[in-house]
């Protein structure tokens, strides 16, 4: 019964994550008002998700803090794998398949507009919302760890660029996102702590930001 409750809660969170952005203006919209509306509503959504999983999140924060240095080291190692892996994947895509993807363009775009928006959206809203939805929700529902890692990574990749797929060529751009999803899901599976993939992705975002400046 406990599992059923977790699953229902998870499916509800996933549905909200999918449906709410569909009703919102694009985050890359030229209209500043649209941007604030988008960021405000996504922030409220994140607060709702945190409220739904507050007990588990508090438990994870305490567990992470208990072995803080060790967990930071592990997260840094996963980030290094993520950064180097994505660099290799993007080089292969460009050189072999002549396909490019840009995982830093949102950061570049927001960096040009407003550094405050960048920090709020990329480093808080997007980071935590994605980890709650694609790591926490999927792991709660899918108990087979291999199925969880593969399925959650594919759905994560699709949610990142699914809107934009209009040709078979665009499907190649799923690969880097799926790779990122696998690393994040493995880090969560191994640590059993939601803060780990959050910190891994935080390091990755910082790397992208430093490269963009």
Q: Which residues bind another protein (CB under 8 A)?
A: 3-4, 7-8, 10-11, 14-15, 18, 22, 26, 28-30, 69-70, 73-74, 76-77, 79-81, 83-84, 87, 94, 98-102, 105-106, 108-109, 112-113, 138, 141-143, 151, 155, 158, 161-167, 169-170, 173, 203, 207, 210-212
Q: Which is nearer to another protein, 47 or 144 (CB)?
A: 144
User: Which of 205, 198, 167, 209 has its CA nearest to residue 75?
Assistant: 198
Minimal distance, residue 103 CB to another protein, in Å: 9
> What CA–CA distance (Å, rounded) separates 163 from 173?
12
Q: Which residue has the tokens 């799923």?
A: 174
Q: Which is nearer to another protein, 47 or 165 (CB)?
A: 165
Residue 141 CB, shortest distance to another protein, in Å, is 5
Tokens 């649209």: give the residue. 34
| Closer CB to another protein, 29 or 192, in the complex | 29
- Tell me how far, at minimum, the Cβ of 55 lies from another protein, in Å: 20
Question: Distance (Å, rounded) from C-alpha 119 to C-alpha 41?
Answer: 16
**Interatomic CA distance for residues 59 and 68, integer angstroms:** 14
With the C-alpha atoms ordered 89, 92, 95, 99, is the resulting torsion angle positive or negative? negative
């Amino acid at each position: 019964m406990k599992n059923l409750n977790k699953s229902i809660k998870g499916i509800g969170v996933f549905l909200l994550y999918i449906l709410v952005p569909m009703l919102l203006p694009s985050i890359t919209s030229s209209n500043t008002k649209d941007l604030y509306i988008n960021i405000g509503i996504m922030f409220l959504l994140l607060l709702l998700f945190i409220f739904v999983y507050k007990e588990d999140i508090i438990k994870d924060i305490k567990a992470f803090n208990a072995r803080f240095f060790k967990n930071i080291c592990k997260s840094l190692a996963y980030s290094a794998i993520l950064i180097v892996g994505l660099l290799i994947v993007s080089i292969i895509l460009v050189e072999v398949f002549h396909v490019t993807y840009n995982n830093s363009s949102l950061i570049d775009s927001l960096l040009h507009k407003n550094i405050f928006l960048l920090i709020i959206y990329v480093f808080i809203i997007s980071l935590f919302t994605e980890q709650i939805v694609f790591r926490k929700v999927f792991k709660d529902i899918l108990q087979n760890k291999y199925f969880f890692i593969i399925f959650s990574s594919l759905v994560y990749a699709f949610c990142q660029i699914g809107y934009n797929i209009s040709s078979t060529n665009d499907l190649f751009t799923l690969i880097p996102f799926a790779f990122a999803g696998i690393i994040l899901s493995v880090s969560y599976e191994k640590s059993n702590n939601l803060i780990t993939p959050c910190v891994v992705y935080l390091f990755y975002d910082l790397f992208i930001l430093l490269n963009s400046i």
